[in-house]
């Protein structure tokens, strides 16, 4: 008998009780400290090379999927189970989903860079494929059949020819696979998919509509204190003195201070808030921020510059041919906030020699070491558990709030919940850094592009940074790794189109005015705004139609299809830029842009129709058309929802958003000083999703963001003849440009 597995390979000691134990506490809001759960934790494997780290077939016929990536509202709660269920051969309703818990889920890296499905999902697919092969081999023994004559479907393995099957639970329920992920385990033919590719509903949506979804903000543990952190009066200010008597009349309120980390705590949340308002504290003077008006110019002359050539293709022409038109332009994208609707929140219980932190961080695993370092605990004694917060779109204040809570919990000797204020969130969330981009190129009358050169002035990521430096360990004088981490902000500085030579040079800056962090589609909205605006400037210089000009330089058939389908959605009529009419009325125009995200991922074409009020300078985006190819689509409604969100959020960033600061601190700290898009500014959106079932799935969470700025600027140029190169396109700025004052 050539049994592929001996029975002893399936460990009997590691019985997982249905997976419900781990899901249970997140739903009920109770802390995860039951005996049952401890037993499960002891048994969990976490190595992402092992099948058991991802999947457990439970005795009741369900399967628990342990996912290191987390659902931030982008729908991994359904798309990941779709991938696992499809590949295993079981109904998606039988999959239980556990996410982002350092004690339960494998480390699959941060949920960032739009790589949840693209990388994390593919690990899960491979784990499920490996598991399916093992289940079929086990069933072959049981049924005395050949594996190739069996099929896994509906949670059982059965003969392809028909007849009785054997349930997954009966084959391996409650036991482990003891298998490495097998990269050669055969994957299902996408033509046979019945679950992947379906617009299945997201399971969290009803809870969110009935108010029963337990957000990070709604989570509580027994004996928990409510804390408010008192932020310094200036970014670099130190705490001079605290007048604890100033809150003596507020019931139960007291001060907790760890060096410059100052907080008030109370059993009652409202009393904590009252105390935070009443507390008198004196901070040192600090005026270390640059002048806002000089920021863009200061980036170019920053003394800390290190140059690096990122792209160097072809050789610049020694002598430009006759008829070449040479253009240069500079574009600027300002500092922006993640601007989450719910200010960051976290709960931590740090007592004795262990820490449990409930956090809405996109990277629970990646923060385990960071938290262990500043708490001075071994990594395995620090557990971070993900709970969904208000959308974060990169690295907002979620991790800072978690660090606040951890340090305050240890100081207070009780579990602590920290809730940031609106002012904290807009003032102190780490920011998308400012980006200055200079481009020059020449264009021939026939559309050939020569001598393309992009220069980027951007902060450099510090090598080996585990995360961004968090506020609380810094203020509390605890061990942490200083440095910068703005994310991969130098990508897409080069065009997607053929040019005789292309150079991209980064002038890396050693510092950034405020703490930088990845913000949705790090760097790419700015780089693509510059590159795709400049492509239009070239087209305009030779009187070419912007779509035809682009198509001339594209070879990749997927790129060409995306651009053509965008043009079709726009009912695009070939013509050069219109000669703008003067006057005070409404001017209308159209614009288009194309982005091949990171030059290796999702393809996005975006067209816009805008109306510009010449009197007020107000831009109304009336319609957006987007063709989108992210390879194999796991859940079309999930992709559509992400594309809609990417478009609207980035329209907001392009039209309205800039962090304002004086020499001491951020001053745009509420929704009137940091306005974002409202319903009155929302356009009609038409999306054409291109599904390529036989291609690898690519990220859909942020690629469309990158195409927004240029499409909008190109439409404004078409409407008015004015080229906007500085974001945000505020009415004042547009008016200045229209009257030639910019």
Partner 1 sequence: MARYDLRINGKAQTVESSDADKPLLYVLRDLKLTATKFGCGLGQCGACTVLIDGAAVRSCQTTIDDAKGKPIVTLEGLGTPDKPHPLQTAFIKEQVPQCGYCTSGMIMSAAALLATNNKPSESDIRSALDGNLCRCGTHTRVLRAVMAAAGQGG
- Contacts to partner 1 by CB under 8 A: 72-75, 201-202, 204-206, 208-215, 217-218, 251, 268-270, 273-274, 339-343, 388-391, 393, 419, 421-422, 637, 641, 644-649, 652, 670-672, 676-680, 682, 684-685
Q: Quick one: 157 or 216, whose CB is closer to partner 1?
A: 216
Q: Quick one: 364 or 419, whose CB is closer to partner 1?
A: 419
Q: How far is the CB of 420 from partner 1 (least distance, A)?
A: 10
Decide the pairing of beta strands 416-419 and 225-230.
parallel
Determine contact, residues 534/325, Cβ cutoff 8 Å: no
Measured CA to CA, the distance from residue 741 to residue 722 in angstroms comes to 11
Q: Quick one: 118 or 646, whose CB is closer to partner 1?
A: 646
Q: How far is the CB of 650 from partner 1 (least distance, A)?
A: 9
**CA distances for 128 relative to 58, 117, 213, 309, 328, angstroms:** 14, 14, 29, 42, 52
Q: Quick one: 62 or 419, whose CB is closer to partner 1?
A: 419
Q: How far is the CB of 127 from partner 1 (least distance, A)?
A: 27
> Which one, of 641, 602, 643, 637, lies nearest residue 624 by Cα?
643
SS3 469: coil
Environment class of residue 600 by beta-carbon count within 10 Å: exposed (0-12), middle (13-18) or buried (19+)? exposed
Question: Cα-Cα-Cα-Cα dihedral of 427, 432, 438, 443, to 10°?
Answer: -130
Q: Quick one: 160 or 684, whose CB is closer to partner 1?
A: 684
Residue recorded with tokens 């070239």: 538
User: In this structure, what DSSP letter does residue 262 have?
Assistant: E
Q: Quick one: 343 or 617, whose CB is closer to partner 1?
A: 343
Q: Quick one: 414 or 417, whose CB is closer to partner 1?
A: 417
Query: What's the residue count for the chain?
Result: 742
Q: Quick one: 259 or 678, whose CB is closer to partner 1?
A: 678
Q: Quick one: 481 or 654, whose CB is closer to partner 1?
A: 654
Q: Quick one: 281 or 676, whose CB is closer to partner 1?
A: 676
Measured CA to CA, the distance from residue 69 to residue 109 in angstroms comes to 7
The tokens describing 419, both together, are 């809730």
**Secondary structure in 3-state letters for 320-384:** CCCCCEEEEEEEEECCECCCCCCCCEEEEEEECCEEEEEECCCCHHHHHHHHHHHHCCCHHHEEE
Q: How far is the CB of 707 from partner 1 (least distance, A)?
A: 14
Q: How far is the CB of 647 from partner 1 (least distance, A)?
A: 7
Residue recorded with tokens 């932190």: 357
Return the number of other C-beta atoms located less than 10 Å from residue 280's C-beta. Answer: 11
Q: Quick one: 233 or 685, whose CB is closer to partner 1?
A: 685
Q: What is the DSSP string of 359-373?
A: E--S-HHHHHHHHHH
SS3 9: helix
Q: How far is the CB of 528 from partner 1 (least distance, A)?
A: 18
Determine contact, residues 266/251, Cβ cutoff 8 Å: yes
The tokens describing 464, both together, are 């080996």
Q: Quick one: 240 or 341, whose CB is closer to partner 1?
A: 341
Q: Quick one: 509 or 705, whose CB is closer to partner 1?
A: 705
Sheet harboring 166-167: ordered strands across? 150-153, 156-159, 166-167
> Which one, of 283, 159, 180, lies nearest residue 230 by Cα?
283
> Which one, of 455, 441, 724, lies nearest residue 610 by Cα?
724
Q: How far is the CB of 641 from partner 1 (least distance, A)?
A: 6
Q: Quick one: 119 or 623, whose CB is closer to partner 1?
A: 623
Measured CA to CA, the distance from residue 348 to residue 474 in angstroms comes to 18
Q: How far is the CB of 671 from partner 1 (least distance, A)?
A: 4
Q: How far is the CB of 207 from partner 1 (least distance, A)?
A: 8
Q: How far is the CB of 214 from partner 1 (least distance, A)?
A: 8
Q: How far is the CB of 673 from partner 1 (least distance, A)?
A: 10
SS3 172: helix
Strand-pairing partners, residue 306, are 508
Determine contact, residues 136/128, Cβ cutoff 8 Å: no
Q: How far is the CB of 15 from partner 1 (least distance, A)?
A: 33
SS3 279: coil
Q: Quick one: 107 or 688, whose CB is closer to partner 1?
A: 688
- For the chain, how long is the longest CA-to-CA vector? 89
Q: How far is the CB of 338 from partner 1 (least distance, A)?
A: 8
Q: Quick one: 204 or 545, whose CB is closer to partner 1?
A: 204
Measured CA to CA, the distance from residue 522 to residue 206 in angstroms comes to 31
Q: What contacts 295, CB < 8 A, 6 or more positions away?
A: 334, 434, 513
Measured CA to CA, the distance from residue 418 to residue 250 in angstroms comes to 18
Residue 52 dihedral angles phi and psi, to the nearest 5° = -65, -20
Strand-pairing partners, residue 450, are 442
Measured CA to CA, the distance from residue 318 to residue 690 in angstroms comes to 42
Q: How far is the CB of 389 from partner 1 (least distance, A)?
A: 7
Q: How far is the CB of 720 from partner 1 (least distance, A)?
A: 25
């Amino acid at each position: 008998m050539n049994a592929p597995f001996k029975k002893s390979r399936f460990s009997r000691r590691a019985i997982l009780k249905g997976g419900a134990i781990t899901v249970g506490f997140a739903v009920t809001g109770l802390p995860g400290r039951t005996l049952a759960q401890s037993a499960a934790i002891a048994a969990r494997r976490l190595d992402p090379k092992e099948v058991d780290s991802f999947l457990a077939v439970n005795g009741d016929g369900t399967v628990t999927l342990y996912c290191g990536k987390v659902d931030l509202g982008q729908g991994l709660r359904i798309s990941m189970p779709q991938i696992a269920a499809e590949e295993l051969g079981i109904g998606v309703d039988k999959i239980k989903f556990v996410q982002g818990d350092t004690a339960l889920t494998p480390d699959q890296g941060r949920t960032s860079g739009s790589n949840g499905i693209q990388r994390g999902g593919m690990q899960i697919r491979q784990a499920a494929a490996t598991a399916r092969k093992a289940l079929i081999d086990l069933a072959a023994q049981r049924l005395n059949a050949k594996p190739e004559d069996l099929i896994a479907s509906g949670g059982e393995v059965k003969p392809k020819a028909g007849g009785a099957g054997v349930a997954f639970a009966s084959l391996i329920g409650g036991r482990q696979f003891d298998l490495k992920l097998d990269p050669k385990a055969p994957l299902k033919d996408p033509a046979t998919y019945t679950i992947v590719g379906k617009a299945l509903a997201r399971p969290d949506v009803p809870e969110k509509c009935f108010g029963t979804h337990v957000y990070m903000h709604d989570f509580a543990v027994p004996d928990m204190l409510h804390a408010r952190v008192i932020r310094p009066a200036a970014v670099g200010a130190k705490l001079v003195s605290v007048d604890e008597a100033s809150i003596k009349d507020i019931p139960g309120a007291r001060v907790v201070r760890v060096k410059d980390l100052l907080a008030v705590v109370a059993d009652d949340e409202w009393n904590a808030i009252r105390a935070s308002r009443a507390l008198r504290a004196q901070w040192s003077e600090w005026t270390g921020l640059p002048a806002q008006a000089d920021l863009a110019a200061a980036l170019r002359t920053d003394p800390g510059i290190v140059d690096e050539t990122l792209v160097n293709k072809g050789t610049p022409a020694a002598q430009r041919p006759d008829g070449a038109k040479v253009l240069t332009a500079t574009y600027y994208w300002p500092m922006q906030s993640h601007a989450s609707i719910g200010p960051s929140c976290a709960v931590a219980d740090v007592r004795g020699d262990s820490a449990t932190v409930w956090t809405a961080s996109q990277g629970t695993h990646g923060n385990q070491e960071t938290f262990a370092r500043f708490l001075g605990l071994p990594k395995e004694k620090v557990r971070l558990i993900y709970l969904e917060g208000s959308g974060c779109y990169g690295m907002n204040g979620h991790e800072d709030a978690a660090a606040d809570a951890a340090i305050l919990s240890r100081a207070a000797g009780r579990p602590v919940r920290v809730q940031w204020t609106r002012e904290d969130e807009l003032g102190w969330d780490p920011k998308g850094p400012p980006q200055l981009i200079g481009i020059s190129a020449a264009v021939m009358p026939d559309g050939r592009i020569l001598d393309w050169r992009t220069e980027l002035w951007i902060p450099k990521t510090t090598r080996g940074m585990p995360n961004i430096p968090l506020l609380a360990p810094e203020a509390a004088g605890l061990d942490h790794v200083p440095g910068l981490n703005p994310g991969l902000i130098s990508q897409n500085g080069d065009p997607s189109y053929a040019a005789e030579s292309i150079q991209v040079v980064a002038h890396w800056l050693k510092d950034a005015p405020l703490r930088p962090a990845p913000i949705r589609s790090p760097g790419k909205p700015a780089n693509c705004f510059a590159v795709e605006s400049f492509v239009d400037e070239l087209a305009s210089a030779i009187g070419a139609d912007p779509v035809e000009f682009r198509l001339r330089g594209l070879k990749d058939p997927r790129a060409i299809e995306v651009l053509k389908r965008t043009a079709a959605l726009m009912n695009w009529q070939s013509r050069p830029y219109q000669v703008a009419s003067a006057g005070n009325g409404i001017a209308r125009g159209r614009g288009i842009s194309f982005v091949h995200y990171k030059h290796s991922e999702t393809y996005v074409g975006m067209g816009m129709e805008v109306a510009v009020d010449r009197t007020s300078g107000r831009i109304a985006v009336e319609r957006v058309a987007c063709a989108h190819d992210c390879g194999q689509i796991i859940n079309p409604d999930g992709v559509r929802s992400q594309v809609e969100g990417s478009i609207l959020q980035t329209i907001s960033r392009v039209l309205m958003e800039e962090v304002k600061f004086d020499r001491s601190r951020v001053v745009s700290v509420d929704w009137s000083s940091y306005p974002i898009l409202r319903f009155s500014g929302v356009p009609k959106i038409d999306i054409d999703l291109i599904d390529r079932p036989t291609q690898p799935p690519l990220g859909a969470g942020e690629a469309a963001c990158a195409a927004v700025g240029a499409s909008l600027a190109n439409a404004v140029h078409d409407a008015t003849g004015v080229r906007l190169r500085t974001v945000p396109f505020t009415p004042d700025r547009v008016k200045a440009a229209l009257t030639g004052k910019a």
